[in-house]
Amino acid sequence: MRHRLTVLLVALVTLLTACSTALPTAPAPRPGLPVDVQPQQDVQHFLSSPQPGASPREIVEGFLRANVGFAADDDVAREFLTPDLASAWVPTADVVVIDATPQLRVTDEGEVTVTAPAAGHIDAEGRLVERTGEVSETFELTRLDGQWRIDGFPEDFGLWLSKPDLDRAFRDTLVYYLSPQQGYFVPEQRWLPRGEGLTTAVARTQLGPVPTYLEGAVRTGASPDVHLAVGAVPVDPVTQLATVNLQGAGLGEDTRRIHDLRAQLGHALLGLSGVAAVELRLDGRSLLPDEGAVNLGSDLGYEDLVRTTQRALLRVGESFTLVDPRPYNLRNLPPSETSGVELPRLGLSWTGVAVTADLSEFAAVSTDRSRLWRWRDGDEAINEGIGDRLTDPSYDVYGGLWIAGDTRGGGPPRVWVVEGRSLNATARLVDVPWIDAAARITDFRVSPEGTRALLVVQRSDGRGQRLLVAGIVRDREGRPTALTSPLEVAPTLVEVGSARWASTSSIVAAARRAQDQRLLPYSVPLGGWLEDLGEQPGLVDVVAVPTGQGYAPVVRTDDGRFHTREGNRGWLRARNGDELIIPGT
């Protein structure tokens, strides 16, 4: 027993000696790294440098495999390039997400052509858009000190990444712009490289220009002369305070811009794990010393628009019934919650009903899409002179009533807004200079915060529809004047039966991709991957019920039945009806 104890003690001492370099030696605990410099997964550990004697094919194959480590300090991918090309290569200029292993073909001595099916693309602003089709690039190689190296590829070539590599090399997050009239944040999803600290990457993106499709529709405190004064946004590991050091001529005297930047940078950075407060500095001093650092309890002057509803309207024939859209069966609201609410009756020759959030005003279009019906407090009016092929009407957060269609008599597509409480108010044209005269707008909806419009546009050649989002430009009084040149959303959708805003950052659509046999319900995040919500045969329409934390989809099928979802149980039969209307949309 004594011998065994001695052996055990010797073994224990040996073990502790061997591990001494891994044990802490300081008497006091030390804080960890701030969020800005937290180590990421070491993808470079798995990446190989060019091997001596490698063929042109092997060099190109190794370069593409090493693309995932482009943001690391020891970027292996550049070792496959000549020095001149390595210094000129901008990986994030064009990022293609591929859907299968690339196929390589030696087309000539020192020339390799690579092809692969594409799944998505990240543009220069960091916005992810799905795409289909094949991508192909030709790489030119030369011998350098007897070894093959890539010395030429297309000027805009950036990265080719698989979906797993995309998740390792990039991260998606939100930046924010400002609604000029309503005091709401307008979110934008962006994919940022992991090589830079997250706080720094978000701050740099937030200080960039407004996206083209939002110019004139939103506000930002950023400008070309405002940028980070140092190369990083550090986060104190103890207080979790992120310090944004700025430079910018005249920034210190522009109170409005300071408060806008405070709102945008504060909201974006406070959304990151490990950040509890944000301070803006200029020349080493706080920009707002009297207000202190921004924290979760600070009044930023803007807020996220959070929508929820406890009532919806179910239309069956000519009648409307108030229902609770949250339970799976869309049950009727009890009489105690419907007393005093006056609802109109609407003939079967009208469709596409919209209603204000307070249920005081209704609108619809005739089934032949040539007339607009409005109702308020028992009174009604019909406008027969707006246009032809009218879309379903849509209310915005300002109370404006929007509708799109063709100019009467076969003219180009138009967008109109009706403002004011008068049922006989004139529908005013909103300028849409970019619309193709031969196209047709089949659906039009205003975003929850009122800064953007969703349009489904029939292609001029008649081959399917495009899903577009355009900014709404308003004058100083908040009156809409124009729609900006749009951003195409989900170009992989070749047919769009209907589309609606689900939240300030996502859309639901009854749509079809080229590989789909029929319409499917899709969730379409602005800047993310499409999500199939689950096939439901006979799909006609998708409605999004706001829940405060997101939305619950409800679909309608061609047999006049609504279907809801409950957890992972798929679509559940709810009840019959012609339309389900969410107030305020």
Q: Which two tokens stand for residue 501?
A: 């805003």
Query: Torsion-angle region of residue 212: left (phi > 0), alpha (psi -120 to 50) or beta?
Result: alpha
Torsion, Cα of 506, 512, 514, 517 (10° steps): 150
Q: Is the dihedral of CA 341, 344, 345, 351 positive or negative?
A: negative
- The domain 37-168 is placed in CATH, from the list 3.40.109, 3.10.450, 1.10.1220, 3.40.1000, at 3.10.450
Q: What is the mean pLDDT of residues 458-465?
A: 83
Q: Which two tokens stand for residue 99?
A: 């859907």
Q: Percentage of the chain with pLDDT > 90?
A: 74
Per-residue model confidence (pLDDT) at position 47: 86
Q: What is the mean pLDDT of residues 255-276?
A: 94
Mean model confidence pLDDT for the chain: 89
Distance (Å, rounded) from C-alpha 264 to C-alpha 186? 10
Classify 297 as helix, strand or coil: coil
In degrees and rounded to multiples of 5, residue 325 shows phi and psi of -80, 0
Q: What is the mean pLDDT of residues 523-527?
A: 94
The C-alpha R_g of the chain, in whole angstroms, comes to 29
Q: What is the mean pLDDT of residues 495-508?
A: 96
Per-residue model confidence (pLDDT) at position 371: 96
For 126-162, letters b (16+ CB in 10 Å) and e give bbbbbbeeebebbbebeeeeeebbbbbbeeebbbbbb
Per-residue model confidence (pLDDT) at position 163: 93
The model's confidence at residue 364, banded by pLDDT at 50, 70 and 90, is very high
Is 239 exposed, middle or buried (CB count within 10 Å of its CB: 0-12, 13-18, 19+)? exposed
Q: Percentage of the chain with pLDDT > 70?
A: 92
The model's confidence at residue 253, banded by pLDDT at 50, 70 and 90, is confident
Locus of tokens 């849509």: 394
The yes-or-no verdict on residue 19 having pLDDT over 50 is no
The model's confidence at residue 196, banded by pLDDT at 50, 70 and 90, is low
The yes-or-no verdict on residue 224 having pLDDT over 50 is yes
Distance (Å, rounded) from C-alpha 220 to C-alpha 257? 8
The yes-or-no verdict on residue 16 having pLDDT over 50 is no
The model's pLDDT over 380-415, given as tens digits with 9 standing for 90+, comes to 999 998 999 999 999 999 999 999 999 987 778 999
The yes-or-no verdict on residue 46 having pLDDT over 90 is no
CA separation, residue 35 to residues 153, 306, 511, 527 (Å)? 36, 28, 40, 24
Per-residue model confidence (pLDDT) at position 481: 97
Per-residue model confidence (pLDDT) at position 156: 83
Distance (Å, rounded) from C-alpha 494 to C-alpha 511? 8
The second-level CATH assignment, the architecture, of 349-489 is 7 Propeller (2.130)
Higher pLDDT, 24 or 199: 199
The model's pLDDT over 108-140, given as tens digits with 9 standing for 90+, comes to 989 999 999 999 999 878 899 999 899 999 999
Per-residue model confidence (pLDDT) at position 266: 97
The yes-or-no verdict on residue 25 having pLDDT over 70 is no
Q: What is the mean pLDDT of residues 166-190?
A: 94
The model's confidence at residue 218, banded by pLDDT at 50, 70 and 90, is very high
Distance (Å, rounded) from C-alpha 64 to C-alpha 165? 11
In the chain, CATH 3.10.450 covers 37-168
In the chain, CATH 2.130.10.120 covers 349-489
The model's pLDDT over 62-116, given as tens digits with 9 standing for 90+, comes to 999 999 988 777 789 999 999 999 999 999 888 999 999 999 999 998 999 999 9
